[in-house]
Amino acid sequence: MAETLSAELLEFPSKDNRRLLHAVYRVGDLDRSIKFYTEAFGMKLLRKRDVPEEKYSNAFLGFGPEDSNFAVELTYNYGVDKYDIGTGFGHFAIATADVYKLAEDIKAKGGTITREAGPVKGGTSVIAFAKDPDGYLFELIERPNTPEPLCQVMLRVGDLDRSIKFYEKITRQAGPLPGLGTKIVSFLDPDGWKTVLVDHEDFLKELHNQE
């Protein structure tokens, strides 16, 4: 039996105008990752940019436009082709109406399925796990009619209650992002995970300037 979404969860976006924009992480070959995410996962390449003065390029991918959907921001730093993912990062999650089909599609495109599709132990929710070319894990969750397929980011923390109350330490004062002009401010949680708050009007201008 597939997992269903509660009415309260679906109603939440209409009551709160805050939302997650991007999950940012580093990859060793930007074009290779774009090819995998679009062909194996079915994401769309939303935009791509090069910032030579800061020596990086990045690409934004997701299942819908950035002004309404969550996206991944893949960053390639000039000259760096490999990263140590470490033990703190867990996985992303993609919701789909048919986990079995998506897992087979990923394998057909040369992707690696690290956990075959099937019910979770002791439950009925159907999941699978896939690995991208850099080793990042994606959980595939059977969930029909989801408003946002790119639905979760799993991080490991040392103290759950402490982390729930995070947003305590500012690591970057508010100001424009070098090379772009978009105003941001960033916070560090107790485990070192960074969250960046983005000025909404500047973000929309950035999107429109890419069109």
Per annotation, catalytic residue among 66, 104, 139, 168: 139
- As annotated, the binding site includes 73, 91, 139
Q: Are strands 56-62 and 71-77 parallel, antiparallel or unpaired?
A: antiparallel
Neighbour tally for 62: CB within 10 Å: 23
11 assigned to active site? no
- As annotated, the binding site for Zn(2+) includes 73, 91, 139
Which residues have a catalytic role annotated? 139
